[in-house]
Amino acid sequence: MAELQKMDELEEELLITALREDQLDAFRDLFFDRHSYDQGRWFVKLKPEDRAILYRFLSPEEMAAIFENIDADEEEVETYLSEMDSIYAAQMLAQMYADDAVDVLNELDQGKVAGYLTLMEEDAAKEIRELLHYKEFTAGSIMTTEFVAIHAHQTVRSAMQILKSEAPNAETIYYTFVVDEDRRLVGVVSLRDLIISEDETMITEIMNERVYSVLVSVDQEEAARKIRDYNFLALPVVDINDRLLGIITIDDIVDVIDEEASDDYSKLAGISDADSSDKGPFSAAKKRLPWLIILLFLGMLTASLIGRFEETLDQVAILSVFIPLIAGMAGNTGTQALAVAIRRIALGEVEKETSFKILFREAGTGLIAGAVCGVLVTGVVFVWKGDLLLGMLVGTAILFSLIVAAVAGAMVPIVMHRFKIDPAVASGPFITTINDIISILIYLGLASLFIQNLH
């Protein structure tokens, strides 16, 4: 592993040397020996002056292959494109697969997008415009129109001729989708079946009519689940009349899963977007502040609630010692239930079982966890403070707090999902703060009821 890393570093040094010394042939020999992913990774590490030379060394088509293998944010995309000649950038975007080009253009403002489309050849611009019209994060926004489709009433020989002529421009040829005269999706045939079948065999004889598809308007997460569940390499996208519009390939779904996981993680952490390590403090603070301000006011509500029990705390000061313990336990339990519920929603399991069943399971989990923790803390407090009633009070508060926290942690995302709201918005810090309020209310409420019996 260490030897491979050293070889990689040596190659990168040779590439930089060839680039800066204007050794075109030497550079291209080294560069195109590398995997396309490694080319993209090397590209993003270059200085602006080095990238300027690279644009001279590579054609727009070659640059397109690099752009398809980099994961750049809005600012980086704008930077790279602004460094290029406008015509060069437009030609590069036109050479990319249409869905990848759309991903890049979605990072730009409308004026720049229109400018690049104007500079493209009409066929490429038309294809990209059609995809740009689809709502972001839908199947239509991530599908590609570069695929091979054949007609049901033709022979394997003619289908193979179509496949050979269109394969160079298609994203994948492992599946060939079959359409009728109105371009409605009627089946699918694998490359293997085409290869092993006789030339005069009709496509209708070898195609699989049980073909799964998604509507162009469905959420990209639903498309990702279908590809994951059925282990597809590609998934056809159709309109409401079942006409084949495009396909979603496995590489796009991997990107979707990565984006959705990052987005959910960010929201669970209470930030608008996962911070990159190269972001400055002001940019990071700008993204985190909205949630922090909301949580600040919720924290003030918690402080106000504790203030209402000031008389109880004055009479038995020891009660305040256990507030962080109870609030922390409730917050942790709520966050665990939240994570489980969001995962169930992401996997589509919520639709397979009733919400009541899920909440009942979480309530049972909270009951068991609360009972065990309650008994433990009762014993610890009794040994520590020599007060059995105080121990029972803290233990009972933990019992009820954990039950309520588990139910709330599961219920909030499920309710949000029912109303078509992203359940990850119910972030960990938000649920934790809400459960702090509930647990403190339970604890100090019970303390007020039994204040006369406490020492």
Residues in the chain, total: 455
- Whether this prediction's pTM lies above 0.75 is answered by no
Paired residues of 243 in beta bridges: 184
Residue 132: Cβ-neighbour burial (10 angstroms; 0-12, 13-18, 19+): middle
Distance CA 235, CA 175 (A): 9
pLDDT digits (tens, 9 = 90+) for 278-296: 556 776 677 667 767 777 7
pLDDT score recorded for residue 106: 87
pLDDT score recorded for residue 59: 95
- Look at residue 268 and tell me whether its pLDDT is greater than 70: no
DSSP alpha helix (H) spans, 21-173: 24-31, 36-44, 48-57, 60-67, 74-83, 86-95, 98-105, 110-119, 122-132, 139-142, 156-166
pLDDT score recorded for residue 6: 62
The band of 425, judged by pLDDT with boundaries at 50, 70 and 90, is: low
Pairing verdict, β 175-179 and 149-151:
parallel
| E strand or H helix that includes residue 245 | strand 244-249
pLDDT digits (tens, 9 = 90+) for 43-64: 988 999 999 999 999 999 999 9
**Between residues 7 and 438, which one has the greater pLDDT?**
438
Distance CA 241, CA 250 (A): 25
Region 358-383: what's the mean pLDDT?
92
**Fold (topology level) of 281-453:** Tetracycline Repressor; domain 2 (1.10.357)
- Calculated CA dihedral for residues 82, 86, 88, 92, nearest 10 degrees: 70
Helices 388-418 and 323-346: angle between axes, nearest 10 degrees: 30
Q: Are 141 and 114 in contact (CB under 8 A)?
A: no
- Look at residue 342 and tell me whether its pLDDT is greater than 90: no
Can you list the positions of beta strands (E) in 250-348?
none
Mean pLDDT of the chain: 85
Q: Give me 375's structure tokens.
A: 């008994």
Distance CA 258, CA 255 (A): 5
The band of 364, judged by pLDDT with boundaries at 50, 70 and 90, is: very high
The band of 244, judged by pLDDT with boundaries at 50, 70 and 90, is: very high
Question: From the centroid of its chain, how far is CA 144?
Answer: 19
Region 262-285: what's the mean pLDDT?
59
| E strand or H helix that includes residue 185 | strand 185-190
Q: Give me 342's structure tokens.
A: 């969001």
pLDDT score recorded for residue 397: 93
pLDDT digits (tens, 9 = 90+) for 305-334: 788 888 877 777 888 889 889 988 998 898
The band of 277, judged by pLDDT with boundaries at 50, 70 and 90, is: very low
149-250 and 281-453 have identical folds:
no
Task: Note the CATH architecture for domain 149-250.
Answer: Roll (3.10)
pLDDT digits (tens, 9 = 90+) for 142-161: 999 989 999 999 999 999 99
**Between residues 358 and 156, which one has the greater pLDDT?**
156
Distance CA 370, CA 89 (A): 61
- Look at residue 203 and tell me whether its pLDDT is greater than 50: yes
**For residue 453, what is the DSSP state?**
G
Region 101-125: what's the mean pLDDT?
90
Distance CA 448, CA 324 (A): 18
Residue 96: Cβ-neighbour burial (10 angstroms; 0-12, 13-18, 19+): buried
Helices (H) and strands (E) in the chain, counts: 22, 6
| E strand or H helix that includes residue 236 | strand 234-238
Homologous superfamily of 2-133: MgtE N-terminal domain-like (1.25.60.10)
- Look at residue 366 and tell me whether its pLDDT is greater than 60: yes
Q: Where are the domains of the chain?
A: 2-133, 149-250, 281-453
| E strand or H helix that includes residue 178 | strand 175-179
Q: Give me 264's structure tokens.
A: 């959910």
Q: Are 116 and 105 in contact (CB under 8 A)?
A: yes
Paired residues of 138 in beta bridges: 219
371 Cβ partners below 8 Å, 6+ apart? Answer: 399
Q: Give me 224's structure tokens.
A: 């990702």
Phi–psi pair at 149, nearest 5 degrees: -125, 140
- Look at residue 344 and tell me whether its pLDDT is greater than 90: no
Q: Which of 120-134, 258-272, 392-406 has the lowest mean pLDDT?
A: 258-272
The band of 72, judged by pLDDT with boundaries at 50, 70 and 90, is: low
